[in-house]
Amino acid sequence: MLDISVVKTDSPKQIPGPDDPLTFGTIFTDHMFVMNYEEGKGWYDPRIVPYGPFSLEPSAMVFHYGQEMFEGLKAYKSDDGRTLLFRPDKNIWRANKTNRRICIPEIPDEDFLQAIQAIVKMDEAWIPHKPGTSLYIRPFIIATDPFLGVRPSDTYIFCIILSPVGAYYPEGLNPVKIWIEDEYVRAVRGGIGEAKTGGNYVASLRSQVKAHEEGYSQVLWLDGVERKYIEEVGAMNIFFKINGTVITPMLNGSILPGVTRDSVIQLCKDWGVPVEERRISIDEIFEAHKNGTLEEVFGTGTAAVISPVGQLRWEDHIMKVQDGGIGPYSQKFYDTITGIQLGRIADPHGWTVEVK
């Protein structure tokens, strides 16, 4: 159990009203959770303090070699006024998996959950109520040793910030156009692709800019070795429905193990829909599109939950899916997962956790 101290802000901010626009990740709540680490001492001084800047040495290791991890999950307000988290145990498990990969000291699962619960409880009034809105929770850890040599840091800051976010697609589900990248790669097996760490994102920026310039909203990555097998989208895992079977790339070491991905796979099993986790090549997708069996394509991630893909571009080929619209499975996964998140429908696997 953490003994969390609390310093409340003496200048609370204006909480956005139901009609104020909420764009992703721009507004932050009044408080944040912070905890420090020092080699030999462990994690110490867990505290809730007013949201505000850190003071760090310019030589702090995170600025130079990127030793940092992050997570992303959401808190929702149910119709009966409860505050619900969605599968936080999965995020915490993944956070510590990332920590092990990049030599950051682990945080005991129960302390991590307690920290999330405490900060969400503190700023509970910031959770928006409108359909599709939620409170985005961003835990992260940064390396803070003032040192320019290369080694794991001996000191760290763990922080959790909160941001009220609007519906990802204000008019409901909206199909995206995706650029299949065949020039750059994001990750290779044995690298850090399966860790949630900033390095993977900086590796993706060049392609993202290129795709945006071409009118595509996201990039779909192929494997870093043969550039042949599908990996995932920028910040989403990817699913295909081909001839009645739901298929997603298997977790091979370079793909992020998404919580939403896992939830979709479980729902397929619950519903008796054939589902496969396996290698899937771009040629297979191209063939399926050509012979009319590529029924649906969608991305999965905490931010948008389900993103139907209306168009894929690979080299000079443009593949339209569902005529550029939303497929019935994409819609059903979206309705079911958001229904569970909001406590509106049965939660047979106990995915939601109430913040009390």
Tell me which residues touch ligand PLP (CB under 6 A): 72, 196, 200, 232, 235-237, 256, 258-261, 300-302
Stated length of the chain: 356
Residue whose CB is less far from ligand PLP, 47 or 196: 196
Measured from the CB of residue 261, what is the shortest distance to ligand PLP in angstroms? 6
The DSSP symbol for 182 reads S
Question: Residue 31 or 74: which CB sits closer to ligand PLP?
Answer: 74
Say what the alpha-carbon torsion angle 246, 247, 251, 256 is, to the nearest 10 degrees: -70
Q: Minimum CB separation from ligand PLP for residue 285, in Å?
A: 19
22 versus 255: smaller Cβ distance to ligand PLP: 255
Q: How far is the CB of 235 from ligand PLP (least distance, A)?
A: 5
**In the complex, what is the shortest distance from the CB of residue 317 to ligand PLP, in angstroms, rounded to a whole number?**
24
Which H or E element spans position 297?
Answer: strand 294-301
Contacts of 96 (CB under 8 A, 6+ apart): 106, 107, 109, 112
Nearer to ligand PLP, 233 or 355 (CB): 233
Pairing mode, strands 275-278 and 352-355: unpaired
Q: How far is the CB of 338 from ligand PLP (least distance, A)?
A: 13
Fill in the DSSP letter of residue 251. -
Closest CB to ligand PLP among residues 153, 248: 248
224 contacts 186 by C-beta, under 8 angstroms = yes
DSSP of 64-83: HH--EEE--EEEEE-TTS-E
